Copies of this chain bind each other. A is one copy, B any other.
Amino acid sequence: MLAMRPRHATLTPQELEIMKLVWKRDTATVRDVYEALLERRKIAYTTVMTMMKILETKGYLKKRRQDRAFLYRPVHPKSQVIGAMIREFIDRVFNGSAEPLLVHLVKSRRLREKDLEKIVRMVEGAK
C-alpha cells in the first residue's frame, strides 16, 4: 500500500533547470530566475518561488534578504552536484560501472575519437 519512492537523491529536471540559472549568475532572486525561465516557457512567478523554496529546504540553495526580496545562492558548486547526478545515473543504469557508458557514447557516435584524445591530453596535462 505504501509508495516509498526512494526520494530523489539528486535534482529533479525542473530543479536542475533552476539551479543551472543560479549557478550561472552566482546569486539570483526569484525574479531573476522567473524572467530567465519565461524566455523559454510559460510559468508563474509563484511556481518559481515554490521551487526555490524547495531547493532551499533540500539544501541546494541558501537565501539572505536583500532589500525586500530574498537573494539566493548555491550551497554546493555545480561540478559537485552534477557529479552526484552522474554517479546516480551510472549506478542506476550501469550498476556503477562507467565503462559501458563510454562504449555507448562512442558506438552511438556521440563522442568521436578526437574527443577522447582531447580528454587524454587533458589528463596528461593534469599529471
Contacts and interface: CB of A to CB of B under 8 A. Distances in A.
A102 B115 contact: yes
A93 B15 CA distance: 11
A99 interface: yes
A50 B120 CA distance: 46
* Interface magnitude class on chain A: 20 to 34
A119 interface: yes
Interface in A74-127: 79, 82-83, 85-87, 89-90, 92-93, 98-99, 101-106, 108, 110-111, 113, 115-117, 119-120, 122-124
Nearest to A83: B108
Nearest to A11: B93
A10 to B, nearest CB: 10
Contacts of A103: 119, 122
Interface of A: 6, 13, 16, 79, 82-83, 85-87, 89-90, 92-93, 98-99, 101-106, 108, 110-111, 113, 115-117, 119-120, 122-124
Given A86-B110, A102-B105, A103-B119, 19 more contacts: A16-B92, A16-B93, A82-B93, A82-B104, A83-B108, A86-B105, A87-B110, A98-B110, A98-B111, A99-B115, A99-B119, A102-B102, A102-B111, A102-B116, A102-B119, A103-B122, A106-B122, A116-B119, A116-B120
